Amino acid sequence: MLCATSLAACSPTSVFAMENGLSPATAAAAHADDKNRTRSKNRIASHIDFKSATTGVAAKAMRNELNALVQKIDDPQVKRAFESEMHSFFLLFNRYLSEKAKGQKLQWDRVKPPAPEQVVAYKSLKDAKDSSILNKLAVLKLNGGLGTTMGCVGPKSVIEVRDGMTFLDLSVRQIEHLNSAYDVNVPLILMNSFNTDDDTNRVIQKYANHNIEIMTFNQSRYPRVNKETLLPVPRSATDKAGWYPPGHGDLFDALSNSGLLDKLLEQGKEYIFVSNSDNLGAVTDLNILQHMMESQSEFIMEVTDKTKADVKGGTLIDYEGSIRLLEVAQVPSDHIEDFKSVRKFQIFNTNSLWMDLRAIKRVMETEGTDLEIIVNNKVADNGEAVIQLETAVGAAIKHFKNAHGINVPRSRFLPVKSCSDLLLITSDLYQLEHGQLVMNPARMFLTTPIVKLGDHFKKVSQYQKRFKSIPSMLELDHLTVSGDVTFGRNVVLRGVVILVTDAKIDLPDGTILENKLVSGSLTILEH
């Protein structure tokens, strides 16, 4: 087809037809599609530009607010430390805005269970022969949490859990025994939060004459962010309700900024064993330390087999050939059931981690830790909707060489998160040896019973009033208690025991319950 006028004067459709050898009708339809695609691209570009502009405004506003908070501090040393924390927070906040604008999400089809070489069986580890390697080790307990969920005041680590001893007492006793038995010097380090630091430093004075060196440092404090304005909630550094500890992923920044990382390296320490202060199974293990040294691994995560009670626990995955930690908060909502599947993901993270201090130093001085952000939505006491940006320490596994998991026995995972857990570890199921809980040899099964106590047992003070003494649970498989139930002295529980009432159940001294379901209102009388 030829135009009667010059090519420049032809209609766009005519030019499109000539260039592509199409009939006028086909060219008109194709040209319309092309214009629609262009409009769509422009809309997408406009949307991205809008998000980018909004992100830039929010980041600038946040930076100005943080600078204003810094300027309110007079003490030069305190100001420097606070400014460093605010810088770290701003980097995290900026990354949050960027990821939100881009809509970056986990590609579920790329998530695979870990490859066999990425998780080593604990039973395959060689027995350690040289105990002197312990001199290269430091033990760190994550000590930032409060005991509020169990109705206690102050740091969770000072709750009495066994034979009048607290979590902290047991940790000190374990390491003190280690130092004496092997003639080594393993220090205990406590990573406190601004919520626990004062109380912890008062408590540890009682260990002054013990064979153990105790060091403390504080994790960062970050400002809560208003969900609507994306501005910091606190108006000053002393406005305690507006701040939060940003999860244990902050360990790397806090350890480095405090100067403690350099101090440990100067003392000849090369490795650090990190665990939650409330995990009574997380004890120093020579075989794991030796394996770490021989395999030249810079990061080892202890994992254990998943049960129905652990389906929400983070798990190791293979993501495009790289080992990663996957937390439930990162999982797309339509794949939550896949994540919970015991068949697909058979292990979960115990948060007991072994790391190379020299490698931490290298990572912090070069790339830094780019940990996945966990957005924790909260409601402040005044009803204000806020967000807390947090990270998990285990997510750093992707930054380290030869990193892998070790599938450890369940005995190395004994957390106390509730009064149900407290009942287990105070019962005759366990014995105490040098601060370490070990399964009673009289227990016929290696598995731990499932214990579920209802709301009447939620707080420690309530729990203590309902047991005249802790029942014998050596032969127990499952215990569920719901309602107003009290236990007398020397009660024995065997098999599956379920006590459910909307009234009251009193179990007198010496009661033996074996495979029993008790419901309704009941008072068992002695006779």
Catalytic residue numbers read 417
**Nearest-angstrom CA–CA distance, 346 and 280:** 23
Alpha-carbon torsion (113, 121, 251, 88), positive or negative:
negative
Check: CB of residue 241 under 8 Å from CB of residue 381. Answer: yes
Q: Return the structure tokens found at 265.
A: 């390296």
For 307-393, where are the alpha helices, taking DSSP H only?
336-340, 357-365
| 219 annotated ligand-binding residue | yes
Q: In terms of DSSP bridges, do strands 299-305 and 271-276 run parallel, antiparallel, or are they unpaired?
A: unpaired
In 403-527, the DSSP E strands lie at 404-407, 430-433, 436-439, 450-453, 472-482, 485-487, 492-500, 505-507, 512-519, 522-523
Residues 6+ apart with CB under 8 A from 506: 485, 486, 488, 522, 523, 524
Q: In terms of DSSP bridges, do strands 385-390 and 315-319 run parallel, antiparallel, or are they unpaired?
A: unpaired
Q: In terms of DSSP bridges, do strands 315-319 and 322-326 run parallel, antiparallel, or are they unpaired?
A: antiparallel
Angle between helices 24-71 and 76-102 (to 10 degrees): 170
Residues 6+ apart with CB under 8 A from 36: none
- The CA–CA distances, whole Å, from 99 to 88, 336, 362, 372, 480 equal 17, 21, 26, 10, 44
| 248 annotated ligand-binding residue | yes
- Bridge partners of 318? 112, 323
What is the rounded (10 degree) CA torsion for 249, 283, 419, 497?
130
- The CA–CA distances, whole Å, from 51 to 58, 100, 229 equal 10, 9, 15
For 341-475, where are the alpha helices, taking DSSP H only?
357-365, 419-426, 460-465
| 156 annotated ligand-binding residue | yes
| 31 annotated ligand-binding residue | no
- The CA–CA distances, whole Å, from 510 to 490, 521, 523, 526 equal 5, 20, 14, 9
N-terminal to C-terminal alpha carbon distance within the chain? 111
* Residue 60: half-sphere exposure toward Cβ, Cα within 13 Å: 6
Check: CB of residue 58 under 8 Å from CB of residue 94. Answer: no
| 136 annotated ligand-binding residue | no
Report the candidate in 91, 100, 77, 409 with the shortest Cα–Cα distance to residue 227: 100
Residues 6+ apart with CB under 8 A from 275: 140, 141, 142, 282, 350, 351, 352, 353
Give the SS3 label for residue 404. strand
Element (H, E) at 444: none
- Provide the total of helices (H) and of strands (E) in the chain, helices listed first: 12, 27
Name the DSSP letter for residue 204.
Answer: G
| 306 annotated ligand-binding residue | no
Extract the annotated binding site for substrate. Answer: 248
Extract the annotated binding site. Answer: 156, 219, 247-248, 278, 417
Extract the annotated binding site for UTP. Answer: 156, 219, 247, 278, 417
